[in-house]
Structure 1
Amino acid sequence: MNTPTLDETACWRALQQRDAAQDGRFVYGVRTTGVYCRPSCASRLPKRDNVRFYADAQAAEGDGLRPCKRCRPRDDAGAREAQRIAEVCRHIEAHAHEKLTLAALAQRAHLSPFHFQRRFKAIVGLSPREYAEACRLQALRRELRAAPTVSDAIYGAGYGSGSRVYEKIDTRLGMTPAEYRAGGHGVAISYAGGDTPLGRVLIGATDRGICFLQFGDDDAALQAELAAEYPAARLTPMDAAQQALFDDWMHALGEHLAGRRPQLGLPVHTRGTAFQLEVWKYLQTIPYGELRSYAEVAQALGRPNAVRAVARACASNGVALLIPCHRVIRGDGQLAGYRWGLPRKRVLIDLERAHRERA
């Protein structure tokens, strides 16, 4: 079936002109040969009545066509698609304060809304709406530090309603906008430590989820790390009423480290820039027991030149295991850095691979 977002008149014109600039934006199929090609293919121009246009190779093959051996329309199709999605990301970043519809974004990518939604999330790790919210959140952080009032900051960042911000965005800031503007004063984080096969662990949590999960050699050093990460928050040891919840979390960690619980499924409450949230969200999609290189993560996010930024985002992760940055290594297979030490990273990788092979 032809994709409704394609302008067939423009596609036919591009095909007549063998316009290489349109490669990756659509392919055309010829019913009489059962083959599909790039717009720039040097094969003989088919009759218009025999031509159908498709948004991508997948759609053409779904219609029973096979790729042309001359122009190889499947080669680097993934890279071209990632580039189109990356261009949409840049558009969202530049217009995050505006109302962006799925249909309009899909049209920019020359994909149907359904296919665009699915491919955007697969490549970026966030839905288009989630990515736009992350961009607005980054703008809100800047506005909260610079605008005269909280209301000015909210509307300046593109939010049409203050109540919407307080209902939803505070879970991404780690605090309400007013608290963030005040430097985090009044935000309550309770913490407790325990023993794991990887050494001591300290877990810190707000009322919305775990915001700190780090390994170390002693509680004092870990508490200092927590205070450094949340300098203006109110830090208190977990009280007796929270002990049962903490015990559940520790049990889940133990099961995970024993290979009996691949998906931890614990509530996470992170703060970060739009790019960090984008990276962390993608890391959570890497299957248990599998690895990705920093370059592969950058490519998957549609930012092939952001390898170092990906590495920095991994190093900034403050929630070990829940955001599995240990599953990212260098392209040459070396482990590279890990915030909690390379020996722990090696143990985690070996443990996951061993249990995945036995599963």
Structure 2
Amino acid sequence: MDSIAPPLDDLRWQAVLGRDAAPACGDFLYAVTTQGVFCRPGCPARPPLRRNTRFFACIATAEAAGFRACKRCDPKGERAALHRDAVAAACALIEASETIPSLATLAARAGYARHHFLRMFREVTGVTPRSFAESVRGRRLQSALAGGARVADAVAEAGFGSESRVYGRPALGMTPGAARRGARGEVISIARAESVMGPLLVGATARGVCFIGFAEPFDALEGDLRRRFPHATLQEDPALAETVAAIAAHLREPAAALHLPLDIRGTAFQRRVWEALQAIPSGETRSYAGLAAQMGAPAATRAVARACAQNPLAPIIPCHRVVAKDGNLTGYRWGLAAKKRLLAGEGVDRVRSAEAVTPER
């Protein structure tokens, strides 16, 4: 005999007890009759007694029944909107300032305590105010150098105290002189091979592997590499053959670990996302929202997805381990078939392709 599915309210109650922010039974709100508030199922407050709980399909019906929004889980998003506005104002101040404003200054201007403002800023942007400001200085420096400014003048205009700070912690992924020349003079060694995923192209600088592309014709892969490094010189390098063979072997058996020197270039936030991707164990997956929450930036889900799409070093930086919240495969730069094969090679066989897919790029 077929089992009888539990009633909807029983499923909702289990979601409340489990603080499930994305319940399989669908979106709903629950109200606590003894407190007169309504909450989302993921509310961090202690669960109420079952007899004091009512369920609603939407905010309008909960308010019509006389309940008000919980201040902790903010089901109407009013507090989140205030936070976004405060962070947007802080970002505008950072953009307009010649030097980096202190955390105390930003927090006081927003009207929050420093520790609370810091947490709020990270939740909205995914990075700290300091990291955001460093990215702003990096953009200024890059723009000035691209415009032909002398290195010393560009460094001063960008807000760096001295050239040594730029060379000590490169904001561009290359020296200021190379950036001023549009990366001209930088040499990227390349090597090609066939793999189980089709054509494989690998690019490397003196610091390490900077690009991995596969599953497309070699001309398309080389075009992708040139778009990333438009003024660099590409040269075939037989010495890269061993590295390419190791990557091809990893594509064939992705469950095996692969350790190579990498030349990772990206913004502060992209690097945080890519580090979080590398922390996902082989054979496991995360949702984009889950990865954002793990990073301490639950409001940055879309930014996390963009950073995954811009990953130049798949599968070493394993963006294939990020799937939709419901377990469906989503867009992958190198194709859903490649993503599914990589996951299957790691022992993940329960994901399924989404019927409608939005490419990551």
Q: What's the counterpart of residue 191 of structure 2?
A: 192
Query: Paired residue for 1:317, among 311, 317, 328?
Result: 311
2:311 and 2:343 mapped to 1: Cα distance? 17
AA partner of residue 130 (structure 2): R
Deviation of 1:291 after TM superposition, in Å, equals: 3.0
After TM superposition, the structure 1 stretch with the greater mean CA deviation from structure 2, 288-297 or 220-229, is: 288-297
How far the C-alpha of 1:75 sits from its partner, in A, is: 1.5
Q: 2:112 aligns with which of 100, 110, 113?
A: 110
In structure 2, the gaps of 5 or more residues are 1-34, 38-42, 47-66, 352-361
Counterpart position of 1:354? 348
Contact 2:288 2:304 survives alignment (8 Å):
no
**Superposed CA offset, 1:191-239 (max 9, x none):** 2234544333222122233221111355454334323432311222335
Q: Which amino acid is the alignment partner of residue 339 of structure 2?
A: K
Q: 1:280, 1:102 → 2: CA distance?
A: 22
Separation (CA, whole Å) in 1 of partners of 2:153 and 2:298: 32
- The match for 1:161 is 162
CA contact (8 A) 1:83 1:302 kept: no
Question: TM (normalized to structure 2)?
Answer: 0.60
More helix by share: 1
Tell whether the 8 Å contact from 2:100 to 2:130 is kept in structure 1 after alignment.
Answer: no
Deviation at 1:71, TM superposition (A): 6.6
Partner of residue 342, structure 1: 336
Matched, 1:143 2:144: yes
Shift of the 303–243 alpha-carbon distance from structure 1 to 2, 3 Å rule, reads closer
The DSSP-based 3-state class of the residue aligned with 2:174 is coil
1:344 aligned partner, one-letter code? A
Say yes or no: does 1:292 pair with 2:287.
Answer: yes
How big is the shift at 1:341? 1.4
In 2, the alpha carbon distance for the partners of 1:348 and 1:88 equals: 38
Letter in 2 for 1:129: R
Q: Map 1:54-73; keep pairs closer than 5 Å.
A: 72-73=70-71
Alignment-derived partner of residue 100 in structure 1:
101
Q: 1:229–1:356: structure 2 CA closer, same or farther, 3 Å change rule?
A: same
Deviation at 1:343, TM superposition (A): 1.0
Any conservation in 2 of the 1:294–1:328 contact (CA below 8 Å)? no
Gaps of at least 5 residues in structure 1 are: 1-40, 44-56, 62-68
Give the C-alpha shift of residue 124 in structure 1.
Answer: 4.6
Letter in 1 for 2:132: Y
CA RMSD of aligned residues (A): 4.5
Between the aligned residues of both structures, percent identity stands at 35
Post-superposition offset of 1:117: 5.6
In structure 2, relative to structure 1, the CA distance for the partners of 1:93 and 1:266 (3 Å cut) is farther
Q: Relative to structure 1, is the Cα distance of residues 247 and 348 closer, same or farther in structure 2, using a 3 angstrom cutoff?
A: closer
The Cα of 1:161 is off from its aligned counterpart by 0.9
Aligned to 2:176: 177
Residue 76 of structure 1: aligned partner:
74
Match of 1:281 in 2: 272
How many Å apart are 1:109 and its aligned residue?
Answer: 7.3
1:205, 1:211 within 8 Å by CA — same for their partners in 2? yes
State the distance in 2 between where 1:103 and 1:313 align: 29
- Structure 1 residue 334: Cα displacement: 5.0
Shift of 1:83: 6.3
User: 1:233, 1:310 → 2: CA distance?
Assistant: 28
Query: Which amino acid is the alignment partner of residue 137 of structure 2?
Result: R
2:213 partner amino acid: Q
Aligned pair 1:258/2:258, yes or no? no
Q: Distance in 2 between matches of 1:126 and 1:193?
A: 37
2:206 aligns with 207
Kept in 1: contact 2:200–2:248 (CA 8 A):
no
Q: Match of 1:190, SS?
A: strand
